[in-house]
Chain A
Amino acid sequence: MNEAARQDVTRGLTPRERMSDDLLRPLLQTSWRFWATVALLGSVVATGLGTWAYQMYRGFGMTGINMPVYWAFYITTFVFWIGISHAGTLISAILRLVNAGWRRPVTRCAEVITVFALMIGALFPIIHLGRPWLFFWLVPYPSERGIWPNFRSPLVWDFFAINTYLTGSVLFLFLPMIPDFALVRDKTTGWRHRVYGALALGWQGTPKQWHRLEAAMQIMAIAIIPVAVSVHTIVSFDFSMALVPMWHSAIFGPYFVAGAIFSGIAALIIAMAALRRFLHLEDYLHPVHFQNLGKLLLMMSLLWAYFIFNERLTVWYGNEPAEREVFLVTQRGSFAPLFWTMVVCNFVIPFVILSIKKLRTITGCVIASFTVVIGMWLERFLIVVPSLGHKYLPYTWGQYRPRPVEIIIVLSTFSAMVLLYVLFSKLVPIISIWELKVGEHYVADATPRAAAEHPLLKAHP
């Protein structure tokens, strides 16, 4: 029992009250460390925004893009962040539907990652445009020019898919926050009481309201899973619809979705470990949560290896000249160091750490997750750039080198993600309090109390 719990018992707090206290503490108490973190992250984000403005002012030529590598860092990072956004869906929706109780402390952490990763990812199609101030031409509205977007273009599919997923995820995140806002409203005074009262939408907590809320959550959980699968499939269509060697592959849809869930779980493990450490949530995020997610991560790592093997075996065996060239340049050529780093990061290290029970500790899971995040970014890069650099006419093959604007903007998005997360956990309880309480309730009732004459573990004669 930790120090705070000991003090609570002395103060006569019930476990329920202690739960509320622990999970509301980040909202009600702020140290200088919070402000320092926000200032640091905020300045990195501001640098990124300034760099983007500079890129728009000086022209897109400030990037390293050239003929033929017309997509590189920005599209890589776009796919990367959309991939990370699949964390929430898997945990919240799938585990909710199969009624896995261990998901309860984890759902909101995961859904928050989804929403913010989507928002950041959705910026990149704008950042990578030659004329970004005209991005709204992707929106189907009756324009004065009489023209609509081209629904045959995968980029327009991206627009619909990402917007649907973002709308769904924001609602999926917000709806279960309503009862928690009511809780915060009841426990606070002053401006907090008013703001959270407004956000709680006047929630009362009658059986009808609970019934409707849970029905809505059930529908959203069912609906959001196919949407999530479709989103990353559609993002993969940006590549597989084009006649580019090693892009035009039917495997891209499932490959990208599996990779997204893979990187999403890794991001979730990192976020949970950070929350556990910095918000002192050791009593709520137990090693078993990390163990379970670690096992899922291992499974996704094996699945990722399966897809990579499938894709590369087909190319190697088929020996089609253009594809073979791209294959060789990643396997043995100039991209080989990055390729093999990716394999080690995505498969070798996670496999070793996560399959050995002694190593599958919280620290082990976090290390594996970091390597997966790096490896998955590299995987996106290795899909985009080598293929574009080696298309069908060898005279037009080219190299790509990233330039400072691209590196700064990409790094600042990582900072933006952490900043948004820190701000969120300051304003909203990061663990869904009412769902956690329901979980305690069910556990207590589900386990039958052993009577003296029938102890649970005693075998019958």
Chain B
Amino acid sequence: MKAVYALYADPDAAQRAVNSLRDAGVADADITIVSSEPLEQHELGRRDHATWMFWIAAAGGAAGLAFAVWLARLTETAWPLPTGNMPIVAWWTNLIIMFELTMLGGILAAVITLLVTARLPDWKPKLYDPEVSDGKILIGVANPSSASVPAIERALHVGGARLKTLG
């Protein structure tokens, strides 16, 4: 794949690079930012919209609850066997099953949402540089049009960053 990117030693320099890329006319969606840790304290680390994950997890919990109610009723009435003077469909005890499956539903929903929205697993080649693991922050543009490459390179030189070109 073709890409133009630079590696920066600290988040402030990376933020300046992102700002100058924007000034050079590159759309936010085209700017790739890769780091070895979350950059919550900088604007560039908070770019995307709020996640729906909490709501999806709650929905997963509700699904787990519904499943538990259905399972308890189904299994207890499929072959009704009286035990210890308790009712056939015993709600006190079913509550425990309902609680566990609710939590399981929420947990699984959160994890599945994570995998889907973070696009994991995805082993296809992406814009990445192993130096990111040393703490560098990668700012770049993947598959730029040939005309925009010089402008991008100028923008990325902010702060004297090393420039690399893939492909």
The reply, when asked whether chain A contacts chain B directly with Cβ atoms under 8 A, is: yes
The interface of chain A, by Cβ under 8 A from chain B, is 14, 16-17, 20, 140, 146-152, 156-157, 160-161, 163-164, 167-168, 171, 175, 178-179, 182-183, 186-187, 197-198, 201-216, 219-220, 223-224, 226-227, 230, 234, 434, 437-438, 441, 445
In the assembled complex, B94 has its CB within 8 A of some CB on chain A: yes
What bracket does the count of chain B residues touching chain A fall in? 35 or more
- Please name all residues of chain B whose beta carbon is closer than 8 Å to the beta carbon of A178 when the two chains form the complex: 120
- Given A147-B79, A207-B45, A220-B107, also A20-B133 (CB < 8 A): yes
Listed by A's residue number, 27 A-B pairs whose Cβ atoms lie within 8 Å are A16-B135, A17-B134, A20-B133, A148-B75, A148-B78, A150-B83, A151-B75, A151-B90, A152-B84, A152-B93, A157-B93, A164-B101, A164-B103, A171-B111, A187-B130, A187-B133, A205-B34, A205-B36, A207-B35, A207-B46, A211-B51, A216-B53, A219-B106, A220-B107, A223-B103, A227-B103, A230-B103
In the assembled complex, B160 has its CB within 8 A of some CB on chain A: no
Which residue of the partner chain, among A16, A152, A211, A216, contacts B38 with CB atoms under 8 Å? Answer: A211
The CA of A160 and the CA of B44, in the complex, are separated in Å by 43
Q: Mark B116-138, 1 if CB is under 8 A from A, else 0.
A: 01111111101110101111000
The CA of A146 and the CA of B75, in the complex, are separated in Å by 10
Cβ–Cβ contact A16 & B134, under 8 A: yes
Cβ–Cβ contact A167 & B33, under 8 A: no
Cβ–Cβ contact A210 & B135, under 8 A: no
Cβ–Cβ contact B110 & A219, under 8 A: yes
Cβ–Cβ contact B106 & A205, under 8 A: no
Cβ–Cβ contact A157 & B97, under 8 A: yes
Q: Mark B86-109, 1 if CB is under 8 A from A, else 0.
A: 100010011011011101101110
In the assembled complex, B37 has its CB within 8 A of some CB on chain A: yes
- Please name all residues of chain B whose beta carbon is closer than 8 Å to the beta carbon of A140 when the two chains form the complex: 71, 75
Cβ–Cβ contact B133 & A211, under 8 A: no
**Chain A interface, DSSP helix/strand/loop, else mixed:** helix
The CA of A434 and the CA of B51, in the complex, are separated in Å by 22
The interface of chain B, by Cβ under 8 A from chain A, is 32-39, 41, 44-48, 51, 53-54, 57, 71-72, 74-76, 78-79, 81, 83-84, 86, 90, 93-94, 96-97, 99-101, 103-104, 106-108, 110-111, 113-115, 117-124, 126-128, 130, 132-135
- Please name all residues of chain B whose beta carbon is closer than 8 Å to the beta carbon of A438 when the two chains form the complex: 37-38
Q: Which residue of B lies closest to A157 (CB)?
A: B96
- Please name all residues of chain B whose beta carbon is closer than 8 Å to the beta carbon of A164 when the two chains form the complex: 100-101, 103-104, 107
The CA of A197 and the CA of B39, in the complex, are separated in Å by 23
Cβ–Cβ contact A227 & B120, under 8 A: no
- Given A161-B100, A210-B45, A438-B38, also A202-B107 (CB < 8 A): no
Q: Which residue of A lies closest to B94 (CB)?
A: A151
Q: Which residue of A lies closest to B72 (CB)?
A: A151
CB distance from B134 to the nearest CB of A (A): 6
In the A-B complex, list the 9 residue pairs whose CB atoms are closest, starting with the nearest: A148-B75, A201-B121, A210-B38, A186-B133, A186-B130, A216-B114, A202-B122, A219-B110, A160-B100
Q: Which residue of B lies closest to A205 (CB)?
A: B34
- Please name all residues of chain A whose beta carbon is closer than 8 Å to the beta carbon of B71 when the two chains form the complex: 140
Cβ–Cβ contact B121 & A183, under 8 A: no
- Given A20-B133, A438-B38, also A204-B128 (CB < 8 A): yes
The CA of A197 and the CA of B54, in the complex, are separated in Å by 29
The CA of A17 and the CA of B124, in the complex, are separated in Å by 27
The CA of A163 and the CA of B32, in the complex, are separated in Å by 40
- Please name all residues of chain B whose beta carbon is closer than 8 Å to the beta carbon of A213 when the two chains form the complex: 38, 114, 118
| Given A152-B86, A210-B38, 18 new contacts (CB under 8 A) | A14-B135, A151-B76, A151-B93, A160-B97, A161-B100, A168-B104, A202-B121, A202-B124, A205-B128, A208-B47, A209-B120, A211-B51, A216-B110, A219-B106, A223-B103, A230-B99, A230-B100, A434-B36
